[in-house]
Chain A
Amino acid sequence: DTEVTQTPKHLVMGMTNKKSLKCEQHMGHRAMYWYKQKAKKPPELMFVYSYEKLSINESVPSRFSPECPNSSLLNLHLHALQPEDSALYLCASSQSMSTSGGDNEQFFGPGTRLTVL
């Protein structure tokens, strides 16, 4: 099973709403990633979790709050977002954050298309 699942597929929210994005993988991967992708741009890294601990935060505004409840799940909590936060949010996983042993390809989920009104 090389699948990463994400829910919901689409989300529309107002600027005062609180919502959460969910990501799940059952490949035994110990690193999980959140990316933001605007139209016609490559994915931009937001957060990286390694062994359920936040390892990298790419200076993301605090209105985005990640959470890793266990090794298979990754959440992204959203609060007081701005219209410019509308984008495709992608989750990915890999064996680990280490690049020394190979097997460092990241497997991506289908993404959540977020629209902030």
Chain B
Amino acid sequence: AQKVTQAQTEISVVEKEDVTLDCVYETRDTTYYLFWYKQPPSGELVFLIRRNSFDEQNEISGRYSWNFQKSTSSFNFTITASQVVDSAVYFCALNYLYNFNKFYFGSGTKLNVKP
């Protein structure tokens, strides 16, 4: 069974704090893909990153970084020096090989960054 768990429903931080959003997944497949999307209040889901199961290299993009650990089935997302514009709902998602690109979304984490 495929499942994505985002245990943090809502997180509030003050601007410039670092924050980590957790994502834990379950799959029996050896080839799979993990994603993070950002959904600001405007509603559009913005693609942030894709990782395949064979690439455990961590990635950094500006203030964003991702830590993929197969040993713990986690794909965590860290925002360094958070800004008010980072306030949004963040979704982690999973799909796997030959599943018609059907995404399994986590329940989302709402991040509030206060000035």
Contacts and interface: CB of A to CB of B under 8 A. Distances in A.
Interface class of chain B by DSSP: loop
A104 B43 CA distance: 21
Nearest to A108: B45
Contacts of A108: 37, 44-47
Contacts of B72: none
Interface residues of A, number: 29
Contacts of B33: 99, 102, 104
Given A42-B91, A45-B103, A99 B98 contact: yes
Given A42-B106, A104-B101, A99 B44 contact: no
A107 B37 CA distance: 10
A107 B44 CA distance: 9
A56 B44 contact: no
A43 B98 CA distance: 21
Contact of B50 (A97, A104, A109, A111): A104
B12 to A, nearest CB: 16
Interface of A: 31, 40-43, 45, 48, 50, 55-56, 88, 90, 92, 94, 96-100, 102, 104-111, 113
28 contacts: A31-B101, A40-B108, A41-B107, A42-B105, A42-B107, A43-B45, A43-B91, A43-B103, A43-B105, A45-B102, A48-B102, A50-B100, A55-B100, A56-B100, A90-B44, A96-B101, A97-B100, A97-B101, A98-B101, A99-B97, A102-B50, A104-B101, A105-B35, A105-B50, A106-B101, A108-B45, A109-B44, A110-B44
